[in-house]
Structure 1
Amino acid sequence: MPLGTAYTFGCRAENPSPRHRPSFKKFQGLETRRCFTTMPLILIGSFYMKAILLSLAVASLLSGCTTAKTERIYIGTGKGGGIYFTDLDTGTGRLSPPVKASDTRGAGFITVSPDNRFLYATGVASFKINENGTLTQLSEQQSGEKGSCYVSTDHTGQMLMTAYYSSGSVASFKISDGTLSEAISIHRHTGSGQHPNRQKKPFGHSVVPNPENTHAYVADLGIDKIMIYSMNPEEGTLSPAGEAVVPGGAMGPRHMKFSPDGKRLYVLNELDLSVSTFRTLANGRLNFLSTTPMLPENADKTDLTAAEIRIHPNGKFIFTSLRDGSDRRRDSIITYRIISDGLQRIQTTPAQVWVPRNFNIDSSGKCLIVGGQLSKDIVTFRIDPKTAALTFTDSRIPLESEPICFEFTH
C-alpha cells in the first residue's frame, strides 16, 4: 500500500498528485543581496516546516478515520466437526480462510475465558489457546446430564456453567488454571409448557451471568421460565434464587443478553418468534416489561424459529436471527432499537445464508458475522453506527462443518 494511502468502509485518502504538491519555484530569483538574504531563507524554511506539519496533521486525521484492526473469532461446529478460527479485518469486513484449531468432537457452543487464555466447549471440555490460535485440550468432565447445549463462565473466569437441553438442567464446574473440576452443582427443572410438541418437559437452553456477577439465569424453553441462581465463583456453586415466567404461553425462551448497564434482560423466544424485555431488580429477580414480535402480525411463521440474540456494543440496538426450516430461504437478521420499556423493530435483512443458527458482532460494532448451519458458510455485514442498518459485504467463506457458534476473543 503506498505511503499515505488508507482504506476503510467509506473513507479513502490518496497521495496528492504532483500538480497539488507545494512548489518552491516562486522563491527562485529572489534578491540575494546582504540585506535581503535572511528573509527568503526564513520564508522558505517556514513554508517547508508548515508543509511538513500540515502533512503530518492530515496523515494523523486520516489514520484516525481509517484505522482498522483484526479480531480473532473461534467457531464451534456441529456433528463432531471440531473448532475453527478465522481473523476478521474490521476495515474491509473480510475473513481469513478458516483454520482448524481442534479436532474435538464435543464442540457445539463455545466460550472464551475473560483473560483470553482458555476456551470452553459444551463437551464439557476446556482448552488452552496457543499463540498460533490452535487449541490444546486440558480437561473434560461429564456431569451425568444429557444434551449440553450452552456454556458460559462467570466474569472472573473462576467457574463454568452448562445448560442441558435433554435433561432440562444446569450444572457448574470450578475452574483452576483452565482445568475443570467435577460437577459441583446440578439443578434439574420441573414442569411443562403449552406447546404440544416442544414443551412436554423442561429443556434448559442457555445460562448467562448478570453483569454484577452475583446471579446466573437459565432460559428453559420447555417451561417458559427463566430460572434464577445465586453464584459463588470462589466455590463454583449455583444455588436456587427464584424464577421468572415469560408470559404469553408457548414462548420457548432460548437465549438471553443483558444490557451493558445490567438494567435490562432481553430474552429471545424461539417458538413465539419474539423478544421479551425484563427489568432487573436488586435481589437478582426479574420484572417483565414487554414482548416485541420479530415479524409483522400477519406474516407466515410456518417452519420459522428464532435462533440468536446479540446487543450492539453501543447499547442502542439489538439483533436477532430467524431461521427457516424449509427451502423458502426466509432466513433473516432482524434489527431493533432499544427503548425505555422494550424494543422497536426497525429492519429485516436477508441473512445471505441458510439457517443462521448463530451470529456475532465485533467489539468495535462495525461488523456482523453470520454462519449458515445448512449452507456451511460464513458471511459478513457492515453495521451503520447511527442507524444499525446492515449492508452485505459480498464476503463469503465456506466451512467444512456446520457453524453453530461464533465467539470473539476479548
Structure 2
Amino acid sequence: MKILIALASITLLFTACSKPSENKMTKAPKNYLFLVGTYTDGPQQGLNILRFSPEEDSISAKVLSPDIQNPSFVIATRDADRVFTLEETAGEGGGDIVSFSFDKNTMKLNMLSKASSGGDHPCYIGMSPNEKFIAAANYTGGSLSILSNEPDGTLKLLQTIQHEGSSINEARQNSPHVHSTVFNPSGDRLLVADLGTDKIYNYKVSPESDTLLSLVAEYDQSPGDGPRHLTFSNDGNTVFVVQELTAMLEIYDFKEDTFTLKQRLSLLDEGFTGDVGAAEVRVTPDGQNVYASNRGDANTISVFLKNAGGEYERIQNIPSGGIMPRNFNFTKDGEYLLAAHQASNDVVVFKRNPEDGKLSKTPWKVEINKPVYLFQLPD
C-alpha cells in the first residue's frame, strides 16, 4: 500500500510540474494584419488596418489614417516601421506619394513626408529591394517617377519619365496610361506596364549614375490588351502579366533583357459574354500557382497550376464573393486568400488548398469603404 501511495504522489507531482511547461508551449492564435488601400468619399476615410484571426473566428477593420485622399495603393518596408501610400489625385503638381512611421504595437501612423508623384492620378508604387527608392505609376499623367526614400522617411522626387503613344482601343488607349512599376528581385531593372500604349518598358536602374533610370527596351503587347499589373518569379527569370482589356494572363521568359512569350491563357470560361476588367496577378513563392482577378461582369478569381511539363493550366474560376475584385492577397503561410471588392465595399476570405491551390469561400467577410489594395504586414 505504501508503494502505491508513493507512486500516486510521484504521478501528481509530475502532473503539477508539467502543467506550467505545457502552458508555456501553448501557441498564440494565428493573427494576420493587412494594410488596406481605399478610395475615399470623405475626410474621415483613408488607410485601413484589417485584422484576421481564423482561430478566434474574427475579422475586423478600422481606419488608421484619415484625411488621406484616395490612398489606393499601400506598401511597407520589411520591418514595417515605414509605410508608403499615394493620393490618387490630379492637379498642378500631380498626385502625391506619402510616407509614415508605423508603430505596430499601438497601430498608429505618423506622417513623415509628402512629395509630388510627378503626374496625375498615381495608381501604383513599387519599392526597390534595398528599400532606397520608390517608383510610381501615374495613370492619367502617362508617366512614371522615381523617388528616394531617405533614412528619416523623407521622400524626394528624383526623375520623371513621360511616355508617348496610344493603341487601338479609343475609349481606353488614346494616350499613355502607366499602370504599374515593378522592380526585379535584384533591383537593377524596373518593368513598367503601360495600358495606353500596349507596351511593357524595361528600364535599367543605375543608382550611381546621374540618370537613375534609362530605357533598355520596349516590349509590344497584343493590340488592345492593355497591360495592367505584372509580377516576377522569385529568381526574376519569369514575368507574369495580366492584360486588363482582354482578360488574359501572359507568361514570359525574362533573361538578359529578352522578353519571350511562353504562354497566353484566358481568364474566361468558354461561352462567357459581357464586360471584363482583369486587375491583379500574384504567384505563390514556390511558383506552383498563379492567381488573377477579373472584374466587369465576371467578378472571378482564376487559379492556375503548373503541370509536370512546367506549363500552367487554369484549374478553377471561382466567384470572388463580391463586386469588382480589384485586388487580392495571400496570408504569409498561404493558407488563405483575401479578396478586396471596390464596388461591394468588402473584403472576403477564401481557404486555399495546399495541394493544388484551389480556393473555397469561407464565411469571413468585413465591410470597408471601397477597398482596392491589400498589403500584409509581417508577424
Shift of 1:227: 0.5
| Letter paired with 1:395 | W
| Letter paired with 2:39 | G
| Letter paired with 1:337 | L
- Contact conserved, 1:90 with 1:366, CA < 8 A, in 2? no
> Matches of 2:110 and 2:165 in 1, distance apart?
40
Q: Is 2:210 the counterpart of 1:238? A: no
> Matches of 1:147 and 1:388 in 2, distance apart?
35
- Contact conserved, 2:118 with 2:144, CA < 8 A, in 1? no
Does the C-alpha gap of structure 1 residues 69 and 60 become closer, same or farther in structure 2, counting only changes over 3 Å? same
Shift of 1:254: 0.4
The partner residue of 1:226 within 200, 223, 241 is 200
- Residue 92 of structure 2 is matched in structure 1 by none
Q: Rg: which structure is higher?
A: 1
- Contact conserved, 1:251 with 1:271, CA < 8 A, in 2? yes
- Residue 305 of structure 1 is matched in structure 2 by 277
- Residue 93 of structure 2 is matched in structure 1 by none
Shift of 1:379: 1.4
> Matches of 1:270 and 1:342 in 2, distance apart?
22
Does the C-alpha gap of structure 1 residues 342 and 91 become closer, same or farther in structure 2, counting only changes over 3 Å? farther
Shift of 1:249: 2.2
- Contact conserved, 1:77 with 1:402, CA < 8 A, in 2? yes
- Contact conserved, 1:93 with 1:380, CA < 8 A, in 2? no
What does 1:71-86 align with in structure 2 at a 5 Å threshold?
Answer: 71-79=32-40, 81-86=45-50
> Matches of 2:355 and 2:24 in 1, distance apart?
24
- Residue 81 of structure 2 is matched in structure 1 by 117
TM-score (norm 2): 0.86
- Contact conserved, 2:118 with 2:138, CA < 8 A, in 1? no
> Matches of 2:57 and 2:206 in 1, distance apart?
40
Gaps of 5+ in 1: 1-29
Does the C-alpha gap of structure 1 residues 371 and 93 become closer, same or farther in structure 2, counting only changes over 3 Å? farther
- Contact conserved, 1:226 with 1:243, CA < 8 A, in 2? yes
> Matches of 1:147 and 1:407 in 2, distance apart?
20
Shift of 1:260: 2.1
Does the C-alpha gap of structure 1 residues 222 and 85 become closer, same or farther in structure 2, counting only changes over 3 Å? same
Report the 3-state secondary structure (helix = DSSP H, G, I; strand = E; otherwise coil) of the residue aligned with 1:114: coil
Cα deviations by residue, 1:112-162 (Å, 9 ceiling, x for unpaired): 123311111123111111242221111111144112110011011101100
Does the C-alpha gap of structure 1 residues 390 and 56 become closer, same or farther in structure 2, counting only changes over 3 Å? farther
Does the C-alpha gap of structure 1 residues 90 and 232 become closer, same or farther in structure 2, counting only changes over 3 Å? farther
What does 1:176-325 align with in structure 2 at a 5 Å threshold?
Answer: 176-177=150-151, 179-233=153-207, 237-246=212-221, 248-281=222-255, 283-300=256-273, 302-324=274-296
- Contact conserved, 1:102 with 1:134, CA < 8 A, in 2? no
Report the 3-state secondary structure (helix = DSSP H, G, I; strand = E; otherwise coil) of the residue aligned with 2:295: strand
Cα deviations by residue, 1:349-400 (Å, 9 ceiling, x for unpaired): 111111111111111101111111111111111111112121222112112x
- Contact conserved, 1:106 with 1:121, CA < 8 A, in 2? no
Cα deviations by residue, 1:1-60 (Å, 9 ceiling, x for unpaired): xxxxxxxxxxxxxxxxxxxxxxxxxxxxx6x6xxxx5xx689768988998999999999
The partner residue of 1:70 within 11, 14, 31 is 31
Between the two proteins, the alignment pairs up a number of residues equal to 363
> Matches of 1:383 and 1:143 in 2, distance apart?
37
Gaps of 5+ in 2: 87-95
> Matches of 2:133 and 2:208 in 1, distance apart?
8
Shift of 1:178: 5.0
| Letter paired with 1:241 | V
Shift of 1:341: 5.6
Does the C-alpha gap of structure 1 residues 143 and 372 become closer, same or farther in structure 2, counting only changes over 3 Å? closer
| Letter paired with 1:79 | T
Q: Is 2:340 the counterpart of 1:379? A: no
Shift of 1:304: 1.7
Report the 3-state secondary structure (helix = DSSP H, G, I; strand = E; otherwise coil) of the residue aligned with 2:186: coil
Shift of 1:232: 3.3
> Matches of 1:397 and 1:206 in 2, distance apart?
27
Shift of 1:229: 0.9
Shift of 1:193: 1.8
- Residue 406 of structure 1 is matched in structure 2 by 374
- Contact conserved, 1:359 with 1:368, CA < 8 A, in 2? yes
- Contact conserved, 1:106 with 1:124, CA < 8 A, in 2? no
- Contact conserved, 1:253 with 1:270, CA < 8 A, in 2? yes
Q: Is 2:101 the counterpart of 1:128? A: yes
Q: Is 2:318 the counterpart of 1:354? A: no
- Contact conserved, 1:243 with 1:285, CA < 8 A, in 2? no
Shift of 1:237: 2.5
Does the C-alpha gap of structure 1 residues 117 and 299 become closer, same or farther in structure 2, counting only changes over 3 Å? same
Report the 3-state secondary structure (helix = DSSP H, G, I; strand = E; otherwise coil) of the residue aligned with 2:325: coil
> Matches of 1:270 and 1:178 in 2, distance apart?
37
Report the 3-state secondary structure (helix = DSSP H, G, I; strand = E; otherwise coil) of the residue aligned with 1:97: strand
Shift of 1:313: 3.6
